[in-house]
Amino acid sequence: LKDQFDNLDKHTQWGIDFLEKYAKFVKERIEIEQNYAKQLRNLVKKYCPKRSSKDEEPRFTSCIAFFNILNELNDYAGQREVVAEEMGHRVYGELMRYSHDLKTERKMHLQEGRKAQQYLDMCWKQMDNSKKKFERECREAEKAQQSYERLDNDTNATKADVEKAKQQLNLRTHMADENKNEYAAQLQNFNGEQHKHYYIVIPQIYKQLQEMDERRTIKLSECYKGFADSERKVIPIISKCLEGMILAAKSVDEHRDSQLVIDCFKSGFEPPGDFPFEDYSQNIYRTISDGTISTPKQEGMRIDSKTTVGKAKGKLWLFGKKPKPQSPPLTPTSLYTSSTPNGSQYPIFSIEPVHYCMSDIKTGKPRIPSFRSLKRGYFCLQGPALEDFSHLPPEQRRKKLQQRIDELNRELQKETDQKDALIKMKDVYEKNPQMGDPGSLQPKLTETMSNMDRLRMEIHKNEAWLSEVEGKVAARSDRRHSSDINHLVTQGRESPEGSYTDDANQEVRGPPQQHAHPNEFDDEFEDDDPLPAIGHCKAIYPFDGHNEGTLAMKEGEILYIIEEDKGDGWTRARRHNGEEGYVPTSYIDVTLEKNSKGA
């Protein structure tokens, strides 16, 4: 039985060691999850755009899809952190607490068992001592009896010796009887304690150890289940992250990306027209047939052959391979006159500006170094940026002016809203003077009115420039129609149009192009204003919001979105009562307005 007690001691110690071994396994798994989430967040941060400038915001659907995938991956990393936190709180922490309690309980039970065994050993020693004493007294009594019998049978022994031996025999017999009674009592006591020890005390201690070991086994089972539940709880959110990645992949539109490239590079210029055929053999044939020298042509109609041939060779193919010509300086368009068969005069534009544009386009870099050049548009002429964008091609100038007008309109709307708010606040102060001084709002109101007047003047000025561009485009379209008719009459002697100069009044714009979507590049000049609502969301899961700056929400609650997720896994929201704070992006279903940023 004592050996079995030692075996149970070893078994319970092994159970606690196994429990701590599993706790160590969970701790290492938590570290793996935390490192995995940290590496995923670093990866997302590495490839996310810096958002330092609006010109660098992604426009292509492939780029937007990639950044959406990065956002979903960031949410996925957040769920890995949730798994690690759940395992640490529900599994590892519980195991460590239970292991400490288990050690204390096991120590107590083993001490009780050892005490019971020590008490039984003490009873056995007392019984054994009484037994040995009884045995010794019995031997002494036997010796006294033998001595008495010998003296009693001895005729030479005196009566006094016989009486003394008899008294010694009676004394030893009496002591033997007392030791016998004591031994019997000790034996009976030991037998009772032994029965109690083996049938009551030890079984009870073993039962307690058994229950303790069974509870340990149950706790392990619960921890196994909690370990799996920590992973299973985030599976729906992880599935949504993966579905978001799939939707981002499906949102890639190659035709829209191609159209963005076209819109970024579209200049509004027309290709150069056909070069006229100049028949230098007319004078020879006329001299041979008439025998006289014909009157030379007017100098205004004559085009220098060297200039014409040289330029024709240098500009025949827009994308062909040719030696780099020396670009002539950009000069105002020079006019030549030519006579039609009916004697009317019409202008012919020189090809110098066309040559300049073609050579500048051909000497540009043939490939796109980065997405930044696509977002900023094609800058075909290097020069200082003018306020009216007259340094840009017609189509790019029209788009830039339209974008600036839209931006100014948005600023004007903000100033108007601010003016209305100040007027309302002033009325409230006038009705309730204790709330504030109405005169303190007058400087701000005056400043707002001044800003509104300034913005209206800016809008009027840019609208005038836009009307000028659109008018020139329309005029050029009519002129192109007439030139197509005259081209058949004059056998293609007219030079191609479409040149432009640094002077906005001398520009000849290209034909009206297909208008791009007005909201396609509005975000390039949009100010980041976190105050107005840009959408709404519905809480998928409850959030307690104990930390500072967070907003608690209930499942199914509807909130306004005032700031999108910047890649850190948090979205800024606002309740109907005006309370604002951050909520986890993975806990809400976001719906952005179509006309808001990032919709």
223 exposed, middle or buried (CB, 10 Å; 0-12, 13-18, 19+)?
buried
> What is the pLDDT, as a whole number, of residue 480?
55
Report how far residue 369's alpha carbon sits from residue 375's, in angstroms, rounded to the nearest whole number.
Answer: 12
pLDDT beyond 70 at 518 = no
Task: Provide the pLDDT for residue 328.
Answer: 42
Confidence of residue 123 (pLDDT cuts 50, 70, 90): very high
Q: What are the tens digits of pLDDT across the range 218-247?
A: 999 999 999 999 999 999 999 999 999 999
What number is the average pLDDT over the span 318-344? 41
- Out of 74-83, 129-138, 498-507, 575-584, pick the least confident: 498-507
pLDDT at position 344 is 40
| pLDDT value for 246 | 95
Alpha-carbon gap, residue 510 to 480, rounded angstroms: 9
User: What pLDDT score was predicted for residue 484?
Assistant: 53
The string of DSSP letters for 251-298 reads: T--HHHHHHHHHHHH---PPPP-PPPP--TTHHHHHHHHHSSPPPPPP
Three-state DSSP state, 219: helix
Tell me the pTM: 0.48
Between CA 561 and CA 508 the distance in angstroms is 47
pLDDT for 25-83, tens place per residue? 999 999 999 999 999 999 999 998 776 655 556 678 999 999 999 999 999 999 999 99
Structure tokens at 160: 């006094």
Domains and CATH numbers, the chain: 2-258 (1.20.1270.60), 392-473 (1.10.287), 533-590 (2.30.30.40)
Question: Is residue 446 pLDDT above 60, yes or no?
Answer: yes
- In the predicted model, is pLDDT for residue 449 greater than 50? yes
Q: What is the mean pLDDT of the chain?
A: 76
Residue 93: CB atoms within 10 Å: 13
Query: What is the per-residue DSSP string for 23-64?
Result: HHHHHHHHHHHHHHHHHHHHHHHHHS-----GGGS--SHHHH
Instruction: Count CB neighbours of 145 within 10 A.
Output: 16
Q: Which residues have CB under 8 Å from 595's CB, separation 6+?
A: 519
pLDDT tens for 161-214 read 888 888 888 898 889 899 899 999 999 999 999 999 889 999 999 999 999 999
CB 395 within 8 A of CB 449: no
Query: Which range, of 159-173, 354-368, 382-396, 518-532, averages the lowest pLDDT?
Result: 354-368
Asked which of 33-42, 206-215, 248-257, 272-281 is least confident by mean pLDDT, the reply is 272-281
C-alpha closest to that of 268 among 432, 398, 180, 441: 398
Q: Are 201 and 115 in contact (CB under 8 A)?
A: no
Give yes or no for residue 597 having a pLDDT over 60.
no
End-to-end CA distance of the chain: 78
Distance CA 414, CA 448 (A): 10
Count CB-CB contacts under 10 A for residue 207.
11
